[in-house]
Structure 1
């Protein structure tokens, strides 16, 4: 994935974070915030953004009500 694509993904995940906050959900984003990398930090390296994307995604999925269970298996291919 290119740096520009990572920054775009970082921005999209940041919007998801904002929506969770709007809903009143508490997200555990301490690990993400400790990195000090935001979607607008375009001067940061690709590696920094990749780490931030993973930490932000972990924080968001940790708030998901179905984080440990899956109701039905997902097919590996689309119809």
Structure 2
């Protein structure tokens, strides 16, 4: 699996966790009733996006890489 970003947020309006995959565009999202389900669904969507791009001969988006330094506690 490639290292793409996932943003998981609680949606009060929808009463579920919504996951967006920023590198793939604002419409690339999924959801889950639990955090774990949302993460699992997002991994599945991400794999489908990667596979589809490769099959179509499209280039993959560049992954947004964390450039800071993690502060260990």
TM-score (norm 2): 0.34
Structure with the bigger percentage of helix: 1
Q: Which has the higher contact order (CA 8 A, sep 6+)?
A: 1
